[in-house]
């Protein structure tokens, strides 16, 4: 809730051609962070970890494994061909990035981050849901018996796995928070899919909004409006003093 804008940072992963992991709960947030370092070392790449508001604000039990000691004698390899992107270096690195992307696509197809959860009810395999991040929790709440493809590695997407999953169901939904990135990719594969209506692109998802999308069930309205709680500077925040002075001077600051 501290961002000045609502954006879908999955675009950055696709634009930069670097992998993105998207945890759905506290346990995955811890586990995926460790895995991100492993992927970074193995594939020589930065890794993005997409933490959305609801995952960041959640509190759940987390299983802790044995600590792993890290190297403390590491020295940076001063490699200008890798780190100084002059035109001559950039062309060679572009080849490396494309080769790395091919390896990451292979990782996505066989990754533990992406998994199919079979339906628990008779005849439920006719409907499938592709989802990721916190949206997975809402889908599980609204459709506990559904067949689900949970995406934990948000980029690159596992195209073969998606095709196989889609071929096994009669109707396919994509439930994702904010922009229809997975939906657009699935459509580009020539797969018919039901995506969120345009009005659901903005704002956080919730079980009620997912139920409205899947079942058409209206969202219950509260009987009373909650009391307004305008944002304030946190106690002890070093910005409070300067903010007070600017407010006292009726100053406007932009940028």
Across the strands, what pairs with 129?
148, 173
pLDDT level of residue 216 (50, 70, 90 thresholds): confident
Tell me the pTM.
0.82
Q: What dihedral do alpha carbons 142, 145, 151, 152 form, nearest 10°?
A: 80
- pLDDT at position 49, please? 95
Sheet holding 20-21, edge to edge: 48-49, 20-21, 153-155
Question: Smallest Cα–Cα separation from 55: which of 177, 145, 149, 153?
Answer: 177
Residue 172 CB neighbour total at 10 angstroms = 23
**205 pLDDT higher than 60:** yes
% the chain with pLDDT above 70: 96
In the chain, ranges of CATH 3.40.50.920 domains: 115-215
For the domain covering 115-215, report its CATH number: 3.40.50.920
pLDDT in tens, 17-30: 999 999 999 999 99
pLDDT in tens, 53-107: 889 888 889 998 888 887 778 788 888 888 888 898 899 999 999 999 999 999 9
């Amino acid at each position: 809730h501290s961002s000045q804008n609502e954006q879908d940072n999955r675009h950055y992963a696709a634009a930069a051609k670097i992998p993105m992991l998207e945890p759905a709960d506290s346990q995955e947030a811890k586990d995926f962070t460790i895995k991100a370092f492993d992927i970074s070392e193995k594939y020589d790449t930065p890794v993005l970890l997409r933490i959305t508001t609801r995952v960041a604000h959640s509190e759940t039990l987390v299983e802790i494994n044995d600590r792993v000691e890290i190297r403390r004698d590491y020295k940076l390899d001063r490699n200008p061909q890798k780190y100084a992107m002059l035109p001559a270096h950039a062309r060679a690195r572009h080849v490396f990035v494309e080769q790395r992307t091919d390896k990451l696509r292979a990782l996505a197809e066989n990754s533990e981050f992406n998994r199919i959860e079979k339906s628990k009810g008779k005849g439920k395999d006719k409907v499938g849901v592709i989802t990721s991040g916190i949206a997975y929790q809402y889908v599980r709440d609204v459709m506990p018996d559904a067949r689900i493809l949970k995406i934990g590695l948000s980029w690159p997407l596992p195209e073969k796995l998606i095709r196989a999953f889609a071929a096994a169901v009669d109707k396919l939904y994509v439930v994702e928070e904010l922009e229809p990135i997975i939906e657009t990719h699935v459509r580009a594969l020539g797969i018919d899919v039901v995506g969120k209506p345009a009005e659901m692109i903005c704002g956080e998802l919730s079980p009620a909004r997912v139920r409205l999308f899947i079942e058409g069930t209206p969202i219950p309205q509260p009987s009373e409006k909650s009391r307004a709680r305008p944002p304030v500077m946190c106690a002890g925040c070093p910005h409070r003093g300067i903010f007070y002075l600017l407010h006292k001077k009726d100053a406007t600051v932009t940028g």
